[in-house]
Structure 1
Amino acid sequence: MALPGISLGEWRAQGNDLDFNGHAIRYWDAGKGEPLLLIHGFPTAAWDWHYLWWPLAARYRVIACDMLGFGDSAKPRGHAYRILEQADLQQALLARLEIREPLHLLVHDYGNSVAQELLARHREGRIRLASCVFLNGGLFPETHRPVLSQKLLLSPLGALFGRLFNRARLAANFAKVFGPRTQPSAEELDAFWSLIARHDGPAVMHRLIHYIRDRREHRERWVGAMQHSGVPLRLIDGPLDPISGAHMVQRYRELIADADTVLLDGIGHYPQCEAPEQVLAHYLAFRARLDGTVSGASADAIRNA
Structure 2
Amino acid sequence: MRRLAEIPLRVWRTRGHDFTFRGHTIRYWVAGQGDPLLLIHGFPTASWDWHYLWQPLSRQYRVIACDMLGFGDSAKPRDHHYSLVEQADLQQALLEHLDVQSPVHVLAHDYGDSVAQELLARHNEGRFEMGSCVFLNGGLFPETHRALLVQKLLLSPVGWLIGRTFDRGSLDRDFSRVFGASTRPSESELDDFWSLISANRGHHILNRLVSYIPERVVHRDRWVRAMQQGRVPLRFINGAFDPVSGEHMVERYRQLVPNPDTVLIPDIGRYPHTETPALVLRLYEAFRAAVADFQPAESAPFLLHDAKLPDHPFVLSSTIQSASY
Deviation at residue 175 of structure 1 after TM alignment: 2.4
- Unaligned 5+ segments in structure 1 are 293-298
Deviation at residue 291 of structure 1 after TM alignment: 2.1
Q: TM-score, normalised by structure 2?
A: 0.90
* SS of residue matched to 2:105: strand
Contact 2:262/2:316 (<8 A) preserved: no
Letter in 2 for 1:239: A
CA deviations over 1:279-300 (Å, ceiling 9, x no partner): 00000000011126xxxxxx95
Counterpart CA distance in 2 for 1:280 and 1:174 is 24
- How many residue pairs match? The answer is 300
Deviation at residue 185 of structure 1 after TM alignment: 0.4
Q: What does residue range 216-295 of structure 1 map to in structure 2 within 5 Å?
A: 216-228=217-229, 230-291=231-292
In the other structure, the counterpart of 1:90 is 91
- Is residue 158 of structure 2 the alignment partner of residue 157 of structure 1? yes
Deviation at residue 174 of structure 1 after TM alignment: 2.3
Deviation at residue 173 of structure 1 after TM alignment: 1.3
- Is residue 123 of structure 2 the alignment partner of residue 122 of structure 1? yes
Counterpart CA distance in 1 for 2:46 and 2:316 is 32
CA deviations over 1:96-132 (Å, ceiling 9, x no partner): 0000100100000000000000001001111100100
- Is residue 39 of structure 2 the alignment partner of residue 46 of structure 1? no
Contact 1:282/1:302 (<8 A) preserved: no
In the other structure, the counterpart of 1:195 is 196
Counterpart CA distance in 2 for 1:174 and 1:207 is 18
Counterpart CA distance in 2 for 1:173 and 1:62 is 31
Counterpart CA distance in 1 for 2:49 and 2:221 is 29
After superposition, the Cα gap between the structure-2 partners of 1:239 and 1:304, relative to the gap in structure 1 and judged at 3 Å, is: closer
After superposition, the Cα gap between the structure-2 partners of 1:303 and 1:244, relative to the gap in structure 1 and judged at 3 Å, is: closer
- Unaligned 5+ segments in structure 2 are 294-314
Letter in 1 for 2:163: G
Deviation at residue 304 of structure 1 after TM alignment: 5.4
Q: What does residue range 177-188 of structure 1 map to in structure 2 within 5 Å?
A: 177-188=178-189
Q: Percent identity?
A: 61
Counterpart CA distance in 1 for 2:138 and 2:184 is 18
In the other structure, the counterpart of 1:37 is 38
Q: What does residue range 135-174 of structure 1 map to in structure 2 within 5 Å?
A: 135-174=136-175
* SS of residue matched to 1:52: helix
Contact 2:6/2:51 (<8 A) preserved: yes
After superposition, the Cα gap between the structure-2 partners of 1:146 and 1:14, relative to the gap in structure 1 and judged at 3 Å, is: same
Deviation at residue 265 of structure 1 after TM alignment: 1.6
Counterpart CA distance in 2 for 1:242 and 1:143 is 11
After superposition, the Cα gap between the structure-2 partners of 1:37 and 1:172, relative to the gap in structure 1 and judged at 3 Å, is: same
After superposition, the Cα gap between the structure-2 partners of 1:262 and 1:5, relative to the gap in structure 1 and judged at 3 Å, is: same
CA deviations over 1:185-240 (Å, ceiling 9, x no partner): 01100000000000010111100000001100000011111111510000000011
- Is residue 207 of structure 2 the alignment partner of residue 206 of structure 1? yes
In the other structure, the counterpart of 1:60 is 61
- Identify which range, 283-292 or 52-61, moves more after superposition: 283-292
After superposition, the Cα gap between the structure-2 partners of 1:76 and 1:34, relative to the gap in structure 1 and judged at 3 Å, is: same
Deviation at residue 259 of structure 1 after TM alignment: 0.3
CA deviations over 1:77-109 (Å, ceiling 9, x no partner): 110000000000000000000001001000000
CA deviations over 1:47-82 (Å, ceiling 9, x no partner): 000000000001100000000000000000110000
Contact 1:119/1:229 (<8 A) preserved: no
* SS of residue matched to 2:52: coil
Deviation at residue 176 of structure 1 after TM alignment: 1.2
Q: TM-score, normalised by structure 1?
A: 0.96
Contact 1:122/1:229 (<8 A) preserved: no
Counterpart CA distance in 2 for 1:110 and 1:277 is 22
CA deviations over 1:158-197 (Å, ceiling 9, x no partner): 0000000001100111221000010100110000000000
Deviation at residue 302 of structure 1 after TM alignment: 8.4
Letter in 2 for 1:191: D
Counterpart CA distance in 1 for 2:159 and 2:138 is 21
Counterpart CA distance in 1 for 2:239 and 2:318 is 16
* SS of residue matched to 2:39: strand
Letter in 1 for 2:171: L
In the other structure, the counterpart of 1:295 is none
Deviation at residue 151 of structure 1 after TM alignment: 0.4
Contact 2:31/2:58 (<8 A) preserved: yes
* SS of residue matched to 2:237: strand
